[in-house]
A and B are shown apart, each in its own frame.
Chain A
Amino acid sequence: MPLLHVDDVVVQFGGVTAVNHASFEVEAGSITGLIGPNGAGKTTCFNVITGLQTPTAGHIVLDGKDITRMPVHRRSKRGIGRTFQRLEAFGSLTVSDNVRVALDIHDGIPGLFRSAVNDVDALLELVGISDYANERADSIPTGTARLLELARSLATDPQLLLLDEPSSGLDESETGAFGALLKQLAAEGRTVLMVEHDMDLVMGVCDTIHVLDFGSIIAQGTPAEIRINPVVQKAYLGYADEADHDAGHDAGDTKVLAL
């Protein structure tokens, strides 16, 4: 049984259909990619899965339980963690306090007097941003902030991690290290669902890839299958100019063309 089942989800904003009968599954312990041109509805899918957006129709099933109507915080308790495309780090807090507050929230009242110093340091070490521990989160570089969001999310010990463009803002060697980290997390038994524009990273680490276009899944398969899929090629090439233009200096996007 898959860990996550997105079942025929529709999201409409006024007259615009952002997600159009999208269905896909994420196997437990896998790294799954969710790719597609800008505006395909990837982030909206994440918002529906995490509960920030109520779908117009369809269901989200986690571990066999329908969570479509469950509030955001209870989904977190059931093991969903996420990072954000547009950063949502707690800007007034230091990097280490960002992680500490996540531990506080996760532990709830019973851990009232627990010191979490070691866990915080270990998580910052794990994602490789220990050097920034005492800086305010609104003053660190974008790539670092994305890693901080990952560390913060890991503090809640999620079984399903949703990462929204985690590598944008990272340079090539950092992206390589990040890919290794993802494999390590999957080896520990966590499931990763990732929206990503860096095709080298997606093709390198994902077990399965789902391709979203105009809010619908147009293809799914292994990286090798997706690479040669004509429908995917058409969807991307048809958008190539626009995607390049819209994304501006977004480092990952140029690689989309090299698909």
Chain B
Amino acid sequence: MSAFLSYTVIGLFTGAAYAIAASGLVLTYSTTRVFNIAHGAVGMVFAFLYWDFSQRQGMPVWLSLVLVLLVVAPLTGVFIQRVLTRGLGNAPVGVSLVVTVAILVGMIGVATQVWKQDTARSLPQFYQGHLIHLGGVIVTPQQIITIVISVIVAGALYVLLARTRIGTAMRASVDNAELLSLYGGRADVVAALAWAVGTSLAALAGILLAPVIGLQYYDLTLLVISAYAAAMLGKLTSLPMTYIGAMALGLAQSYVIGYLQDIPGHDKLGGLPAVVPTVFLFAILVLLPQAPLRIGQVKGIISAPVPTITRSMVCGALLIVAVALMASGMANSTLLNFGAAISFAILMLSLVLLTGYGGYVSLAQFAFAGVGAVIYARADQPNLFGLVLAILGAAAVGAIVAIPVLRLTGLYLALATLAFGQLMDKLVFTSSLAFQFNNPLTAKRLSLPGMNFKDQGNYTILMAVFFVLTAIVVVAIRRGRLGRILIAVRDSQAAAGTLGLDLRWLRVGLFAGSAGIAGLSGALLAGMRLTIDASTFQFFNSLVLLLIAGVWGVTSVTGAAIGGFFMMYLPVAQSNHPNIAGLLFMLLAAGAIVLGRNPNGLSYVMFLIPRFVTDSLYPALADRYPGMALRARAVGVVGEPDEAIGSDADDHSEGKVDSDAVASR
């Protein structure tokens, strides 16, 4: 009985911390419609800052708390709202998630840069060492303080929202921010205040939890999943339901740790406590009612031009030849990196299909790649059959993730993938079913009938062939009926639905297809490296992948190819220059925040250059120097990257229609 009571106290403590974090999340989301996926990461950074003030610099605890919670955190919140995420409330989910994921990765970058991993840090609990005996249960002051603070926060939020003018405006803003500003409410002030308070609450939760779960970059960052799970009980808008959800989650987690870990053979369940929020979240998602389709005209999006199939094939063949030439001159160690880049480029293609064309976001593409790698290695079929098995297995897992979220919108789907990615990280990949903990899995080199790819260079060329084939499939989908339907859905879900399209299964299919491509990339990587472990597929890599896609563009094959190389190069650069590793994350995050609002990314700029040459520069030069005409034309043709020619595109802003576009009908 006393064990039960102890677990209950621990559960209430955890639940109270979750409640504080979750109420901050609800406050920011409901007033601005921007889901701050970096909520946990913000809490993490401020826990580190609090450690820096109170431990490293030796400031008094009260001063450190005041500085962090009442000065730095609110200012940061206002900065995030006013500068980084402003106007994202009505943006497509692909854009708002890229920006908030960038903030998350940027926060990790800040923490790893400022507070480097080489020193061990710990935060003492409040009044550490003082134990209180309450009816046979030992309670720490930290636990009591946290529970009391959560009650105070609940009361303060109630007074703020129900009894003050600005609080009333906040509640009005939940229902309709546009309407609020029409009636003279200061929507911008409301939003800034909500983010100031919300960020402060994230910091408070981080500071309260850090002494117990440790001052670590990733564990505190993942607090957002628990907060999100709790907040979902109140559909991200109800604070009372959020508190109930947080307490239920805290207790469930505590009981799972308390009781299940005593079961013999518990070592297999080592990751179980960490996945309680994920399971809790999926249970709530399944129970939520159907979300209404959003009405309200979304303006058409200018996409990167889509090449014809013939053109893709020609460019693909050239790419394979180029890879073959480069591979012939490379050392094996360089080839390993080169191959990884091609594998990541294939993984990027899975995002082109899902995000670029479909408008949905996944935060777990590496988890799907991991599934493909594990199936390929475990099936021990180093041939096409094994590859197909890996693709189908990953696709099936993708569908399984999407189905519970069937009735909800893209944001919930993306957040479900984040929870899923963590589940794979903590439970599945480390289990004996998959890689096992710190235990690499061996895979065999792929072979095709009559062909041998033992040579590293040959295998690299084979991977390039797979990249080209996948790219052609993706482009063919975009050019065909399905591609047209995907664009239509991205523009107006309500219209597509009233025309008779079942959006739910389209989404499951899209997710499965994208996961299948990810599975292919993982299997090819396993076949190249021959040994493969869980760290390659950890959830954080999926976030970095999304940001690189955001920078280079997620709407084109070219963007995917360039992005793949950056995905490979980033960790290489970080291990070569460990003292700026965090800075590189911050740079990537800054790039994604700046460029993430245009899904076409930097690679789109490359498409504009030849169009500038042919449309503006060439006529201008030809006018001025008649003799140059021939040469300028030659430059214009040769200098075009593979997807570049405006006249080949059927979805161009100018709406040009040419023989190719007509022929494709």
Contact = CB atoms under 8 A, between A and B. Distances in A.
A193 to B, nearest CB: 14
A90 B655 contact: no
Interface in B278-303: 290, 292-293, 295-303
Contacts of A136: 300, 653, 655
B499 A152 contact: yes
A76 B500 contact: yes
Contacts of B492: 88-90
B484 A101 contact: yes
Interface in B478-534: 481, 484-485, 487-488, 490-492, 494-503
A68 interface: no
A182 interface: no
B501 A52 contact: no
A92 B485 contact: no
Given A52-B292, A93-B300, A139-B655, A88 B502 contact: no
Nearest to B484: A101
Interface stretch (A104-112, A198-206, A230-238): A104-112
B485 A137 contact: no
B528 to A, nearest CB: 36
B481 A112 contact: yes
B469 to A, nearest CB: 21
Contacts of A80: 498
B409 to A, nearest CB: 14
Given A72-B497, A84-B495, A88-B494, A134 B655 contact: yes
A118 to B, nearest CB: 11
A115 interface: yes
Given A52-B293, A117-B665, A138-B299, A88 B653 contact: no
Contacts of B295: 47, 52, 84, 86, 88
B290 to A, nearest CB: 8
Contacts of A138: 299-300
B494 A52 contact: yes
B132 interface: no
A189 interface: no
Contacts of B499: 76, 81, 101-102, 105-106, 152-153, 155-156
A92 B498 contact: no
A80 B497 CA distance: 11
B555 to A, nearest CB: 11
A117 B295 CA distance: 29
A135 B655 CA distance: 6
A137 to B, nearest CB: 7
Contacts of B298: 91
Interface residues of B, number: 37
Nearest to A14: B175
Interface of B is mostly: loop
A156 B297 contact: no
Nearest to A81: B498
A89 B495 contact: yes
B573 interface: no
Contacts of A156: 499-500
Contacts of B651: 92-94
B5 interface: no
A227 interface: no
B657 interface: yes
A51 B657 CA distance: 37
B487 A86 contact: no
A50 interface: yes
A196 to B, nearest CB: 19
Nearest to B303: A92
B251 to A, nearest CB: 32
Given A86-B297, A101-B484, A138-B299, A76 B292 contact: no
Contact of B503 (A73, A86, A87, A90): A73
A73 B502 contact: yes
Contact of A91 (B491, B501, B502, B657): B491
A54 interface: yes
A93 B500 contact: no
Interface in A37-62: 47, 50-54
A245 interface: no
A73 B484 contact: no
A98 B495 CA distance: 10
Nearest to A54: B292
Nearest to B491: A90
Interface centre among B293, B495, B499, B665 (most CB of A within 10 A): B499
A184 B301 CA distance: 36
A18 to B, nearest CB: 14
Contacts of B487: 90, 92-93, 101
Contacts of A87: 297
B655 A94 contact: yes
Contacts of B653: 136
A82 B491 contact: no
Contacts of A255: none
A105 B299 contact: no
Interface string B628-659: 00000000000000000000001101010100
Interface centre among B293, B296, B302, B495 (most CB of A within 10 A): B495
B503 A93 contact: no
Contact of A134 (B301, B497, B500, B657): B657
Interface of B: 175, 290, 292-293, 295-303, 481, 484-485, 487-488, 490-492, 494-503, 650-651, 653, 655, 657, 665
Given A92-B491, A136-B300, A149-B495, 20 more contacts: A47-B295, A52-B292, A52-B295, A52-B497, A72-B293, A86-B295, A88-B295, A89-B492, A91-B491, A98-B488, A101-B481, A101-B488, A102-B499, A106-B499, A115-B665, A134-B657, A136-B655, A139-B655, A153-B498, A156-B499
- Pairs A-B, 3 closest by C-beta atoms: A91-B300, A76-B500, A92-B300
6 contacts: A54-B292, A84-B495, A91-B491, A92-B301, A138-B299, A153-B498
